[in-house]
Structure 1
Amino acid sequence: MCTACLIENVKSHMLSRRSLFSGAAATAAMGVAAGALSARPVLAQAKGRVVDLTHAYDSDFPTFDGKPGILYEVDKNFDPDGYHLFKLTIFEHTGTHIDAPLHFAEGGTSVDALPVENLIAPLCIVDISARAAEDPNAVVEPADIEAWVSANGEIPAGACVAMNSGWTARIGNPAWRNLPDGTLAFPGFSKAATDLLAQTGAASIGVDTLSLDPGNSPDFAVHYSWLPSGRFGIEGLANLEQLPASGATIFIGAPKHRGGTGGPARILAMH
């Protein structure tokens, strides 16, 4: 083959490859654009500030039954092993954690099987902190949901609706869990409110307290209705007061141990 022919052949080959890659890039760009469009309802109002909604916890962190939620055992130490390693014994429902449907429903969805599309969601915060300051067992009522909608618009499908009762300020104080006589006392949701939220298409609810139900609940009515419906809850959220009532996006780092009823989670919000 002559030199000129070889040069022309190479140029033709390069042009073909350039067209191929241009087409691939265009296709990829279309895919990214489609992904961006599908994420837009969730992320449209996010401005980039990240708030940690997770409490750091240890064996002293308050739990529902009063037993330590996590135990540490040294397995390796830097001297003489050259590295550190703990063996952990963890109860699923401790610290900032997920309640999967399986927690209160025979045959319910386990934490590893939660739909991933519900782990990134619009965050709607219902503030009952003024009422909770007067009543430690205050609950989110349907009127609170209706007031939120009136002020902020409809609750988006797939949203996480979180109660801000101001309880983060009590962390480190026994009042986060109970009254001076040891009686459990903390705010939660009313069943009437979560029944209403189920109609909106919300996928999860969250609380800044120990339980989805208030401390004085005699029957765990919210747990026994919300979770068996296939939805999940988040308990022990922190720092909700740092976020607006609407417009933030929540990122739910749910654990993925097979068959789990829930577990400690890292929860972040961006707005």
Structure 2
Amino acid sequence: MCAPRIVELAHENAARPSRRALFAAAGLTALAAAAPPARAVPPSGGVLDLTHTLSSRLPTWPGNPPFTTTPVAWHALGGFGQNALAFWEHSGTHLDAPAHRVPGGATTDVVEVTDLVAPLVVIDISARAERDADAALTIDDIDRWQSEHGRIPERAFVAMYSGWERHIGDAAAFLNLDSHGAPHAPGIAPDAAAYLVERCGVVGVGVDTLSLDHALSRDHGAHSAILGAGRYGVEMLANLGAAPASGATVVVGAPKHLGGTGGPCRVIALT
């Protein structure tokens, strides 16, 4: 994220009724208006964007602040435009490095670049997730996919498609908090996560929700199984419904900041 002083300045400018703050507010409004929620569209030219547009409107995990952007330089005053950004690492479509869950685990700057380009496998549990917000990807789902499409390729990236992004434009529906404030959304069962790592040899695992685990999880078993094995996760993927179940290649444009536990990334599928 931004240096603490930049973050402080961004918030100070937003709070101060100055000419600069008015420009910033106008810029934020324009940026928000220009950033509609991602939706599933057919791939164009064999390239499909699996990334949500990062904006203040995008849902975040309960308690995490939203992404903010504040203009700090203008073309009319010096010839260049520039924004100060403030966000927590796990915002938007983002990577979970092993260090996110495992003390001493690999950080974003040491994730193997060869693991960021991989065969893409999409396992669809959307029909079940539409009936049950707490649905989880299971070993049976994985085996069913393999019976239809063949064995999961070695060193693949496996993505769970739950259809949850249909709620992306409504943060309350996406978080789906119950009367006790607990979130409900699909994820990956811990034993299925371990199966993907141990039996299928995946390099990474992705979901179209806020967490690798189903949102009600308290032991975070899927995170532990995936990140604990030195693999990475990607959360809040977009457009998985438009991606083929097999045959595509995923490219994860992962962040590379020293000591990072994760960070927003640009993910594309080459179909």
Question: What is the match of residue 232 of structure 2?
Answer: 232
Question: What is the match of residue 126 of structure 2?
Answer: 129
For structure 2, the residue ranges without an aligned partner over 5 or more in a row are 1-43
Q: Over aligned residues, Cα RMSD in angstroms? A: 1.6
- Which structure's CA Rg is the greater one? 1
Question: What is the match of residue 204 of structure 1?
Answer: 204
Q: For 1:65 and 1:114, how far apart are their aligned partners in 2?
A: 27
Question: What is the match of residue 177 of structure 1?
Answer: 175
Q: For 1:179 and 1:103, how far apart are their aligned partners in 2?
A: 24
Q: Deviations over 1:233-267 (max 9, x none)?
A: 00000000101111111000001111110100000
Q: Secondary structure at the match of 2:228?
A: helix
Q: Deviations over 1:73-92 (max 9, x none)?
A: 22112232322111111210
Q: For 1:197 and 1:212, how far apart are their aligned partners in 2?
A: 13
Question: What is the match of residue 49 of structure 2?
Answer: 52
Asked if the contact 1:60–1:68 (Cα under 8 Å) also holds between the matched residues in 2, the reply is no
Q: For 1:72 and 1:241, how far apart are their aligned partners in 2?
A: 30
For structure 1, the residue ranges without an aligned partner over 5 or more in a row are 1-46
* TM-score normalised over the length of structure 1: 0.80
Q: How far does residue 106 in structure 1 lie from its aligned partner after superposition?
A: 0.8
Asked if the contact 1:185–1:216 (Cα under 8 Å) also holds between the matched residues in 2, the reply is yes
Amino acid paired to 2:144: A
Which residues of 2 match residues 131-146 of structure 1 at below 5 A?
A: 131-146=128-143
2:183 matches 1:188: no
Question: What is the match of residue 102 of structure 1?
Answer: 99
Q: For 1:227 and 1:69, how far apart are their aligned partners in 2?
A: 25
* TM-score normalised over the length of structure 2: 0.80
Question: What is the match of residue 219 of structure 2?
Answer: 219
Q: How far does residue 180 in structure 1 lie from its aligned partner after superposition?
A: 5.9
Asked if the contact 2:212–2:222 (Cα under 8 Å) also holds between the matched residues in 1, the reply is yes
Q: Deviations over 1:194-220 (max 9, x none)?
A: 111112111110000000001111211
Asked if the contact 2:64–2:88 (Cα under 8 Å) also holds between the matched residues in 1, the reply is no
Query: How many pairs were matched up?
Result: 226
Higher helix share: 1
Q: Deviations over 1:22-52 (max 9, x none)?
A: xxxxxxxxxxxxxxxxxxxxxxxxx951110
Question: What is the match of residue 82 of structure 1?
Answer: 79
